Homo-oligomer: A and B are copies of this chain.
Amino acid sequence: MNTSFFQGLLQSITERGRQLLESREPAPGNAQALAQACHKLISSHGEASGVALARQVLCAYRDCPEAQQKAFFDILLKDFAPPHDALAEACQRYLDDPSSANTTALFQASEPPRQELFRRLNQAPGGTAELIAMRRLLLQELKARPELTAVDHDLQHLLASWFNRGFLVLRRIDWSTPASILEKIIKYEAVHAIKDWDDLRGRLQPADRRCFAFFHPALADEPLIFVEVALTRAMPGAIADILEPGSGAQPAEEPDTAVFYSISNCQDGLRGISFGNFLIKQVVEELAREIPGLRHYVTLSPVPGLRRWLDGLGDDPQLGAAAAELLKALKPDAPPPPRTEQPLLALAAEYFLHAKNGAGLPLDPVARFHLGNGARLERLNWRGDLSVSGLRQAAGLMVNYRYELRQIEKNHEAYANQGAVAASPEVRKLATLSAKTKR
């Protein structure tokens, strides 16, 4: 179908957003004035002057000193909570007669007026971006003042609804993408830093590289999350093979493997709203359509918690001799010596299969993400990442997770219900060795 008409639709959203950023209107300047304007916005006034008033409030908020912005959070907490008397009455009525109508009424009475306020603020051009920025600050503040959680709950609730997967758009990022987007890819890359524009070009332009990002129509010039992919003939074991391909390296003529080697979330203000699972699955679909020869979808992933866990083992009285020697041999900034290969792999296998957090899930956060998506732990790669951060995080170890479409649901279920870790026989065998290494 000819979709060019529809392509034009986003222009105005983006341009309206821009207007907000450029507008300069007189600002109330403090939290109290802000609160007053907000009350006006959710009253009937808000209906008539709607967009203009919302825009004024957002501009005023943005121009406030940070201290006033934080004070505004308190007002949101207290003055825009559900009115107690009405809510208590709705509770009582529900307890007396839990009818459908009373249930609905209770739901309505318990919805904090903040939510309506946020919805009205969102009407302003660029409003969504401003609300995300507001939540970013709120999340920082939350550490010191956990009582603001209720406010955050409301913002997150709305943002999760608005950033529903049905509204996200997958876009390929390549060398013909606007520079204004590309500079954000450089900025947001969180796994293997992009040094400069040439480094970026090396990840986008070669025929065996892909990059995809999710966008939201109301935030059109901001990627939400992106993944970098290398197309290869085999599952790679070291990140250097991907990031610094040798001079003689030819792009795989007929690649059979897609390697997801970096996934980065971009928007702090959308923390807790999960895009990664959807992104990986849609990228798998896209790649399968484009390159029918692809058979394997794997990651090359860091192991951010390994080193800390290893260090913690030092106190373990049951630690085997090989393991103890390993721990002694590991230096923070030097590649591990050859003799440590076996013990390190074995301990790492144990780390993945048996080290659990309070919720009974794997200690490693990257493992939790991929296993939760239904992937399985495929291979441990000694000397996978010899960069400073790779050594410090995981003594140079990297791992591959494999996404096998037919197993994803089964793996996910077992993981979600019993915390079961899907792992290849090879990894399982290493874990057995680990027992020996350790005790």
Measured CB to CB, the residues of A under 8 A from B are 1-15, 18, 44-45, 47-51, 77, 81-82, 84, 87-88, 91-92, 94-95, 98, 100-101, 103-104, 106-107, 110-112, 119, 122-125, 127-128, 147, 149-150, 153, 158, 161-162, 164-167, 169-172, 174-182, 196-197, 201, 215, 217-218, 220-221, 277-278, 281, 372-374, 408-409, 412-413, 416-417
B164 near A122: Cβ-Cβ < 8 Å: yes
Across the interface, name the chain B residue whose C-beta is closest to A43: B416
Across the interface, name the chain B residue whose C-beta is closest to A217: B217
Give CA–CA (A246, B281) in the complex, Å.
Answer: 43
Give CA–CA (A9, B167) in the complex, Å.
Answer: 11
Give chain B residues whose Cβ lies under 8 Å from the Cβ of A170.
12
How many monomers of this protein are in the complex? Answer: 4
Give CA–CA (A8, B217) in the complex, Å.
Answer: 10
Give CA–CA (A111, B162) in the complex, Å.
Answer: 17
Give chain B residues whose Cβ lies under 8 Å from the Cβ of A169.
9-10, 12-13
B103 near A94: Cβ-Cβ < 8 Å: no
- Once A119-B164, A174-B1, A413-B45 are accepted as A-B contacts, the answer to whether A10 and B107 lie under 8 Å apart by CB is no
Give CA–CA (A100, B179) in the complex, Å.
Answer: 45
B408 near A218: Cβ-Cβ < 8 Å: no
B166 near A127: Cβ-Cβ < 8 Å: yes
B13 near A1: Cβ-Cβ < 8 Å: no
Give chain B residues whose Cβ lies under 8 Å from the Cβ of A158.
161
Give CA–CA (A277, B52) in the complex, Å.
Answer: 13
> In the assembled complex, how far is the CB of residue A2 from the closest CB belonging to chain B, in whole angstroms?
4
> In the assembled complex, how far is the CB of residue A238 from the closest CB belonging to chain B, in whole angstroms?
28
Give chain B residues whose Cβ lies under 8 Å from the Cβ of A4.
4-5, 7-8
B215 near A128: Cβ-Cβ < 8 Å: no
B2 near A5: Cβ-Cβ < 8 Å: yes
Give chain B residues whose Cβ lies under 8 Å from the Cβ of A373.
48
Give chain B residues whose Cβ lies under 8 Å from the Cβ of A372.
47
- Once A91-B106, A127-B166 are accepted as A-B contacts, the answer to whether A2 and B413 lie under 8 Å apart by CB is no
Give CA–CA (A91, B94) in the complex, Å.
Answer: 8
Having A4-B4, A48-B374, one finds 10 other A-B pairs with CB under 8 Å, namely: A5-B177, A6-B220, A8-B171, A9-B217, A12-B170, A91-B91, A100-B147, A107-B107, A162-B162, A176-B221
Across the interface, name the chain B residue whose C-beta is closest to A175: B180
A98 near B88: Cβ-Cβ < 8 Å: yes
Give CA–CA (A77, B48) in the complex, Å.
Answer: 35
Query: What are 30 sample pairs from A and B whose C-beta atoms fall under 8 A apart?
Result: A2-B178, A4-B8, A5-B177, A5-B178, A5-B181, A6-B220, A7-B7, A7-B11, A9-B10, A9-B215, A10-B10, A49-B412, A50-B165, A50-B278, A50-B281, A51-B281, A77-B100, A88-B94, A88-B95, A100-B147, A100-B149, A119-B164, A122-B166, A123-B165, A123-B278, A162-B162, A175-B180, A176-B180, A178-B179, A197-B197
A18 near B1: Cβ-Cβ < 8 Å: yes
Give CA–CA (A20, B201) in the complex, Å.
Answer: 22
> In the assembled complex, how far is the CB of residue A7 from the closest CB belonging to chain B, in whole angstroms?
4
Give chain B residues whose Cβ lies under 8 Å from the Cβ of A123.
164-166, 278
Give chain B residues whose Cβ lies under 8 Å from the Cβ of A103.
81-82, 87, 110, 112, 150
Give chain B residues whose Cβ lies under 8 Å from the Cβ of A215.
9
Give CA–CA (A196, B165) in the complex, Å.
Answer: 38
A47 near B412: Cβ-Cβ < 8 Å: yes
B412 near A48: Cβ-Cβ < 8 Å: yes
